[in-house]
Every structure is written in structure tokens, then in C-alpha cells.
Structure 1
Amino acid sequence: MGILHSMRTWLLSSLLVASTGVIYGVMFFPQAPMYIGAIFALFCGMPLLAFERRMILPRLNVWVHRLPTPAFILSSLIVDFLLMSVGYAMAGSLLKLLGLVDGSWEDLTLLKFDVYLYAVLVTAVIIFVGRVRELLGRDVFLSLLTGRYRNPTQEERVFLFIDLVGSTAFAEEHGDLKTQAFLGAVFAAMAEPVRRHKGAIDDYIGDAALITWPLRRGLKNANCVRCVFNILNDIEANSETWLKSYGRVPRLRAALHGGSIVTAEIGVDHHKIAYFGDTVNTAARLETLCKTLERQVLISSDLAARLDLPEAIIKEELGEHAVRGRDQHLGVIALHTQDRQALKAANGRS
């Protein structure tokens, strides 16, 4: 799923970059075939996007981003020029060797200033839009762009609260800076499983993350449940790396609940998509029960009844419990995988 998403993203990016080359060709070389502008744009623009994504020259990218702002801007322009110069020369050489264009080698392989300026502006816009999309999240970005929640809307959603255990003790031992780096790494580890299962990280609240799905998308293939255990499994699979970098493997607690909420765009200078209603509060309260009931993953009985759990997931009925701020008791179920259930049993015997 993650590979498919990445391929789709790069395909769309390639089409967008190619279209900017077509536009440039139509504006300044209307007699030339449109594919020529598209080829030059792809060879010039895609390396810049790959560099921005740290798919090429990752160490140089990290070094550039650590520079003070004036040096960062200057260095970025230099790197962009070099990458585009190489791409432009490759595109021109390819077209020349294939006999698709006329002109001297010099004209076809040396990057012109106007082409460079146009490519930098176009790439900057694409990168900026991509950064804003990443900052806000895909669903929030599209919702703000279309004004979907300009007026409050009632809908059904699934919410996942996932919390890092022991962050306070970690901060006391290692300090705030190290703790922030640890939290950042934990949240980063959640990103790909959330993307893979078509969710959206809506907010970070201290050492917890709020992840959400439209109800139908969260229930389909039990995406919301699979997401939780993918996060836990990915962290466990990289335990040696966590130990080497931070001296411990993150321990998480997670709670899932879903139902009707009101979604609205709020704010004046700073706009945000916010969720209102008992469903959000209940999901947050359910996460606090993880500690009380000594379970890692909890799901409300209401939500569990609406989805088909994967075969590898074991349900443990925990009965009904009082939840602060809610008049009615909430049916609670703990979720385990077979491996984790066996490990828990072994620890209990020891």
C-alpha cells in the first residue's frame, strides 16, 4: 500500500512538472512539439523534487537545511542550479542524439538563465504546496482548499488516540531537547502506517497523537485497527535502532472509538479543522483507561461491533466501564495479536 501511494504521488508530480514544460514551450516556442518542453521539464524538475525528498544526495540536503536562513537560501539556489544544469544537459543530449531537435550542442546542453528562473519558480511552488499539504495533512489541506467545512458539518469518524508511555521519566533522565527528538522520532514512525491505512494525523497533544478517518474508510478492511498494530510492529521490528539512538524502545498505549461528530473550520488568522462532540472526548477518556486496565490497545464495543477484525487480532471483553464526562457506561474491548498475547501470558507466569 505504501509503495502504491508513493508511485501514485511521483506519477502525479511527474505529470505536473511535465505540464509546466509544455506551458513554457507553448509560450516561447509555439512551433516546437510539446513533448520537447515536457522532457526538458522532467529532466530539470524531478531531480530537484528528489533532492528535496532526500532521495538523492541526502547528506547534502541535511547540511543545507541546517544552515542559517541567508546561507540556506544561497546554497539552495546553487544546488538547484547545478542539478538543473545536469538535467538540462542530459535532456538536450538525449533529444539531439535521437534527432528530435535541431540546434548546436551548446544551445541544447547549457542551461539558460530564463529557463533556470522559470524552473526554480515552478519547483518552488510545487515544493511549497507539498510542504503545506504535509504540514496540514492531506485531508485537512483538501478540506481547507475546497471550503468543505466552512459551515459546521455533522459526520461520522473514527478516532485513534495513541500515547507515548513514560515520556515524563524520559525527560527527567535525558532533558527536554533529547525528549523532543525522541517524541519527533516516535511521531515520524507513525506517519507511514497512518498513510498506508488511509488515515490522517490530525494533531499532536503533548506526547500523544490524534489520528482520524472518515467512518467508512476507517472501517474498511479494519484500517483503523491494522494501523495501530502496524505502528506497534514497526517499532518492535526496529528495536535495536531505538535502543542505539535513545536507549529505549518506545512503549505506546492506544484507544479507538468512533461515531457522530460535528466538523468545522475555525480560526481567523490561523485556520484549523476542529472536531466537536462526545465521540472525540470518549476516545480520549478511553485512552486513559489503558493504564487503569493495564492493556495496550483498547477499542469501544460500539466501534468493534461495526468492523470485521483481522484473523490475527484477538478480542478480550472487559465489560462496561464508567468514563469521565459520560453519563452512560462504555463497553470496552482489549485487542491483542497472538504473539503479544503469548508474551503477556509468559510474563504473567514469570
Structure 2
Amino acid sequence: MALVFSNNRRWRIIRFYCIGWTLAFVYLSIVRGVGTMEMGSLKFDLLSSLLISVTLGPIMGLISGFAQILTEERVQKNRSLITLLIFRFIYGILFLLLLILGAYAVYQFYFGTSLGIVAFAMDAGSAAIYFYVLSVDVFLTLLRQINLMLGEGNLRKLMQGKFYTPREEERIFMFLDLHSSTQLAEQLGHVNYSLLIQDCFNDLGNAIANNPAEIYQYVGDEAVLTWTLKNGLKNDHCLKAFYNFKLTLEKKRRYYEKKYGVLPFFKAGMHVGMVTVTEVGKYKKEIAYHGDTLNTTARIQGQCNILKSKLLISETLVNNLSSNIYAFTAMGSISLKGKEEKVALYAVSEN
């Protein structure tokens, strides 16, 4: 059950909870330390309370971060609602116990106290603090879920109003589509087919954990990934995402063949260009990209079967890449539906 912190996503979770808990404790210190009188035997002035907050905050953030990673990667998948609720209940009790131990150790380190840990835990006014802590835990968990729904990093940008007015960005897009999806749906049935898609997209997330790719949309059995131009070109991230995903599926061949009787295979099309990004919707908000770049990328992906290629990219993207890892084979200029001019396409392979 060891968790290796070797990918960026896990570090972002840890950072989020460390900052969140530190701010929560600082807020509590200010509220309790300015113009209020402590009910219990432990007396804190504002500076002492702030010192404890900035020490205890990162500690509790690490604990919450570990728990969130464990939930997302080991517990949440294919678990019933009852199981998840039981897990959260047990976690809440353990979290409060760890909070008491952590707070007692920090207070002893800085100030010292003759109180035993039980008396410390039961000090007057503690119940209100425990309720506050549990409320913050629920709030941070909800923020994490909202962030996942919008795409990591987009909640912050949304709150800053960056998407309120449409703006242009140069971006790389990848349309990733499951091969023979109709045949698989008939073969597996709707429920098992949905489980297959769920497993595949979970593995996609694992495959791009160290990649700056943003998952823009899931549309049926298709995923749309995007990068800023700088992030996508750096270290061939836009191409590595596809091959890392392919390798991840290969490593789980035995799992997929045992559960579904098939190893899923994805094909992809990629293109780069200017798009407009904006916030859309009134009662259901979404961050949306608009522009011919997306339409062209979708058309390129549609040529994979015709040209018998796993990964096709546009000449425009090839001209931006300088890769020593991947080889590009010209497939000619193709007429794409809805476009007047032909688009030169290249098949990608590993050297």
C-alpha cells in the first residue's frame, strides 16, 4: 500500500491541503485571538496561536493529502456509497485523534504544559474546535472534487475571472478515441462497456500524472487532451502522453483480458493552433474552447482508420516539434470534411 510521491499530481494534492489547513488554522487563530477570551485552561495570545497554526497546518495538510491520494487511487474506485461513507467516518475519527496528538506535541514543544493529553483533549471549548476542523475537512474535500470536475487548476482561474471574457490561446489538442467501440459495446453490453471506459480513463489519468496535459473533455469513449504550446512541446510531452497511455494499457493486459476479454486500443489525432477559451453556461458552468483547431483535430483523428495509423498529427505540429525520440512519416495531404484546403498529415512512431 506504499504511496510513491514521484508524480506532479500527488504533489499538487499535498500542496493544496497543506496550504488549505494552514490558512484554516490561521483564520481560527485570528477569530479566537482578537477581542475574545479563552474558555479553557490553555491561554493563547494571537502570536502564540499563529505560531501553532503555521506549524500544525502543514502537518495536518500532509495527513489530509495522504488520505485524499489513498481515497482517489485505492479506495474510491469501484466502491459502493456505503463503503465510502464508512471509510470517511473512520477517517474522521482517526483525523481528530491525530489532530489532538499533533496539537499536544506542538504546544508542548513551544510552551510546555502540565496537562495530560486527555485533559488537553477535553479542555473547555475543544468541542467547537473539533466541529470547526471537521467542517474544514469537508469543505476542502468538496473543493478538491469541484477542482477535479472542472479540471485541475481551472477552479482557481475561474474564481479569478480569467474565463469570463473570451480570450485567445495557442494550444495543442489531442482527440483520443477507443478503437472498435461499437463492436466492443455490442460484445460487452452497456454496463461492462461503461466499466471498460471507466478503467481506461482512470489509467489515462495515471499515464499523464507527470505530464502537463489537461483533460478537457470526455465525450463517450473519447477523451480530449490539451496543452499550452510551451508545455506540449517541452520534452515532447504531447507525444509522450499517447505512448505512456499505450504502455500503461499494455502493462495491464492481463487485467483487461481477464475482466473484459480484450485489450483496449486507442487511436489519436493531434493539431496545434489558436483557440478561444471562455466560461459558458448559466446554471451549469463549463470552461469551453472554440475554434477551427478543434474541428481539424477531430477530423485528423477520423483519418486514423483510413490511413491505418495509431497516431496522426498535422504538419503544423510537426514543424513545431524537434524530437529525437519519435519519427514522422508523411502520409500526404488529405481533404478533411468541412475544410477547403487539404491538410498534410504525418504518422508518428517511436524510434
Specify the TM-score bucket, using the shorter chain as the normaliser: 0.7 to 0.9
Q: Distance in 2 between matches of 1:263 and 1:298?
A: 25
Relative distance call for 1:46 and 1:197 in structure 2 (3 A) is: closer
TM-score (structure 1 length as normaliser): 0.84
Give the equivalent residue in structure 1 for 2:188.
174
Structure 1 position 294 matched with structure 2 position 308 = yes
The Cα of 1:143 is off from its aligned counterpart by 3.2
Moved more, 258-267 or 28-37: 28-37
| 1:165-314 matches, cutoff 5 A | 165-309=179-323, 311-314=324-327
Structure 1 counterpart of 2:333, one-letter code: E
Partner deviation per Cα, 1:85-125 (whole Å, 9 max, x = no partner):
32034225534764743141123245832121111111112
Structure 1 counterpart of 2:120, one-letter code: L
Indicate which of 7, 14, 18 corresponds to 1:10: 14
The Cα of 1:58 is off from its aligned counterpart by 5.1
Structure 2 counterpart of 1:66, one-letter code: L
Indicate which of 53, 66, 70 corresponds to 1:50: 66
The Cα of 1:169 is off from its aligned counterpart by 1.7
The Cα of 1:321 is off from its aligned counterpart by 0.8
Q: Is the 8 A contact 2:184 2:193 kept in 1?
A: yes
Structure 1 position 85 matched with structure 2 position 92 = no
Structure 1 position 30 matched with structure 2 position 61 = no
Give the equivalent residue in structure 1 for 2:342.
329
Moved more, 80-89 or 212-221: 80-89
The Cα of 1:80 is off from its aligned counterpart by 4.3
Give the count of matched residue pairs: 332
Partner deviation per Cα, 1:245-298 (whole Å, 9 max, x = no partner):
322211010111011222222111111222222111010000010000111000
Structure 2 counterpart of 1:318, one-letter code: M
Relative distance call for 1:63 and 1:295 in structure 2 (3 A) is: closer
Q: Distance in 2 between matches of 1:135 and 1:312?
A: 34
The Cα of 1:56 is off from its aligned counterpart by 11
Q: Distance in 2 between matches of 1:87 and 1:56?
A: 21
Stretches of structure 2 that go unaligned for 5 or more consecutive residues are: 33-43
Structure 1 position 316 matched with structure 2 position 296 = no
Stretches of structure 1 that go unaligned for 5 or more consecutive residues are: 339-350
Relative distance call for 1:65 and 1:126 in structure 2 (3 A) is: farther
Q: Is the 8 A contact 2:304 2:312 kept in 1?
A: yes
Moved more, 47-56 or 279-288: 47-56
Give the equivalent residue in structure 2 for 1:94.
105
Q: Is the 8 A contact 1:88 1:109 kept in 2?
A: no
What is the SS of the residue equivalent to 1:325? Answer: coil
Moved more, 31-40 or 226-235: 31-40
The Cα of 1:10 is off from its aligned counterpart by 1.1
Q: Distance in 1 between matches of 2:329 and 2:143?
A: 44
What is the SS of the residue equivalent to 2:218? Answer: strand
Give the equivalent residue in structure 2 for 1:152.
166
Q: Distance in 1 between matches of 2:19 and 2:205?
A: 25
The Cα of 1:39 is off from its aligned counterpart by 4.5
Q: Is the 8 A contact 2:328 2:348 kept in 1?
A: yes
Q: Is the 8 A contact 1:17 1:46 kept in 2?
A: no
Give the equivalent residue in structure 2 for 1:67.
82
What is the SS of the residue equivalent to 1:53? Answer: helix
Structure 2 counterpart of 1:272, one-letter code: E
Q: Distance in 2 between matches of 1:165 and 1:56?
A: 27
Give the equivalent residue in structure 2 for 1:133.
147
Structure 1 counterpart of 2:175, one-letter code: F
Partner deviation per Cα, 1:199-253 (whole Å, 9 max, x = no partner):
1111111111111112222222221111111111121122222223322211010
Give the equivalent residue in structure 2 for 1:342.
none
